Structure 1
Amino acid sequence: MGLRTAKGKARLIKAEEAAGFVTSGMWLDFGTSLCQPDVFDKALAARAPELSNVKIRSCLSMRPRAVLEQDPDGHHFYWFSHHFSGYDRRQHDKGRTSYQPVNLGEIPDYYRRFYAPMDIVIFKCLPMDKDGWFNFSASNLWHRAALERARLVIIEVAEGNPYCCGMENGVHISEVDYIIQGENQPAPELPNPPPTENDVAVAKLIASEIGDNSCLQIGIGGMPNAVCAQLLHAAPKGLGIQSEMLTDGIMTLYEKGLVKGDHKQVDPGKVAYSFALGSKAMYDGLHNNEDFNCCAVDFTNLPQNVMKNDRVVSINNTTQVDLQGQCASESDGHRHISGTGGQLQFVRGAYASSGGKSFICLSSTYTKRGEPKSRIVLNLTPGNIVTTPRSDVMYVVTEYGMVNLKGKTVPERALALISIAHPDFREELERQAYEHRLIPRGVTF
């Protein structure tokens, strides 16, 4: 590229100059959530008329992106995401972004083995510390792997994000080509809506299965967070955390003294996570807190690492389950809404753990155009992506009960899932199951 500085000679430049390094056809990497750049984004968007076919890799965008807002027809920039936020989903609906299918814990390996080198990597980090490190804040994930494969590294420096302790949770000045000054602003927050009655009902069922010294993985969403609230009442002792995402619910458990992690086999005594999204109170709790370890996502998510802990409990949402147990958790037909994330990896890691359990939770119904629909169905919606295969699913939980599918035949699975469907849909589901020979006539269980 001819733009690299001499090793260890990073130079401070203006955002406009940094954006000037971009040429048509390049691949850029904006990183994930709290690490996504802001002033570089605006400077690059201002150059839109001069550029075409600039491809940007990203994940979980927490603020509007200028390159998308100022290029609504996608003539100049295109966005690729490892996992959708609400903003990314809206851009997908406009045809402005695409999903990249991944198991989140494998992404560092994708950068090192399968992705072509990034032309430019631009991450927002905290100001350099006395040892020459720019902290990633609460967003480690695969950023180190991306830096290894970058032709040019630009760091946007800004205050406002929490300083997060962790393993290699930052980039050293010796690895940086250019530094630009960002805008100091508070970390973007992820709202936590109050739990619904169904959330609470599901959470009570799951919380009753979590014993002392369990090691938890909590997914994103109302139901998993509601489980944390129920654990405050059940008060199991000595909980450990090894989770892809850190949530407000986990922070509350820690602050109430329920999280110790002394019995973890991996990273004992530490709350291990790869990124955090939530409230200001959660970010304040993370800031300079050495009890929390922000790690690369292959450390937290790979099943072979998860299973090393005993009594792992994984708790994740889904949106639809068919009568054989396939879970579709990331799309609505061909409309992509989130991503595979770490669900499948934690389901497998928890099952392989000594005494481990995995829970997939969902409300039994949803409303579409004013009409209630069952989330437990004979067939998945056409186009729906299977996130967790039937052979991997353990517990499925709705507000009507909990069933374990491990070791069950297809007929037993269908009957079990019908038993936790909404009562209004059970008769029709049973009729469909018999009609399509999922349940043979004349056999009882």
Structure 2
Amino acid sequence: MLVAAAIIGACGRGETGKGSGAYDLVLKNGWVVDGSGNPRYRGDVAIRGDRIAAVGFLSGAPARETLDVGGLVVAPGFIDMMGQSEIYALIDNRLFSKITQGVTTEVTGEGGSVAPLTERLVVDDSDAMKKWHYREDWRDLDGYFTQLAKQGSALNIATFVGATQVRLAVVGKENRSPTAAELAHMSAIVDTLMEQGALGVWTALEYAPASYSKTEEIIALAKAARRHGGIYASHMRNEGIRIDDALDELFRIAREAAIPAEISHLKLAGRASWGRMPRVLARIDSARAAGLDVTADQYPYIAGETSLDAAIPTWAESGGWDSLLVRLRNPETRARIQAEMLHPTDGTEGFYNEAGGASGILITGVFQDSLRYMQGKRISEIAAARHRDPIETIFDIVVAEGGHRTDAVYFLMSEPDVQTAMKTWWVAVNTDFPGVAPD
């Protein structure tokens, strides 16, 4: 696939009706950026079927259709190094926002992944399946990709094994370590899914229940992935004032599992950490010089999207949604959670403080239709309209959702830090978002 083939059909000047021709499509006079790192050059690209057939100066080459794309860039389809479209592809396989921006391949599986699935986990997703009209009829990657192939997808999708998903399938949502037998079972699941085509194992250690995982547990899963040539990717345990500790953990996992490691959406979250990106990059360069195969990816924005309940201390989420709702309905526990959001006891700032408080948190998606009026508003706005404390407002929304996710954007990063990382050759780009359509 070519980016230009996806996005410039209506822009170029067409020449059609030339018979069968040697090629199906020729894009002529474009700026060719081939992904090799070489400078762009003006040239033509010929396509036959779903393959690039020729690149160069193809003047007069016969084709069923020729488009003059002068002034536009022709490039291979972009790879989104971290997307979230695996379920969205089953809901609306157009994945419109990705394909119209030139993304043709997406890598997914951050923490949660499409497999493994258990009956219990499918029940947890039952409300979402009813609302969005899809079915989780698979239990492993072979089953998922069989279903995806039946429905078709505008994107190529590649996936990791989400370590959170494996933990949910075997241990559940409790704050505890796996037993030896459970850890062996988890490693065996990774083995099986790697054989079915997974790229590696991916953690999301800032969120419950993954945050309950000890480093040794992750190393065991990483070793299972490594046996099949996989890599380890991680939304690290902290991306703010404790990022050095998080980097130390990632380096240890890469070293002890003898596995390449990818830092997911590299950032410095929270004003207390702004300006430290050159130092973080230097630490990663030092690890690379010492023999570790460490790379990173990032999204090119100063805000990150996750769930509203991510602002709540992870201990309060032990046991899952039902347990969290019970705690939020208990006045004493609710007061403790609020106090720890303002003054965390684990040495971090927490999402609420990293975002600069309620004005830095924007609601972007709700599950309950009755809460749709909140979409596009900041917590500070919603709280002011309700004459309510901002943190109490967060709790009210989480409770009102009844155990379903509220999507929120947290304004966490500084533009200079984003640009500094972006200029580093071993940092790739991702969206950390699914493909969606305006309709």
TM-score normalised by structure 2 residue count: 0.25
TM-score normalised by structure 1 residue count: 0.25
Name the structure where helix makes up a greater proportion of residues. 2
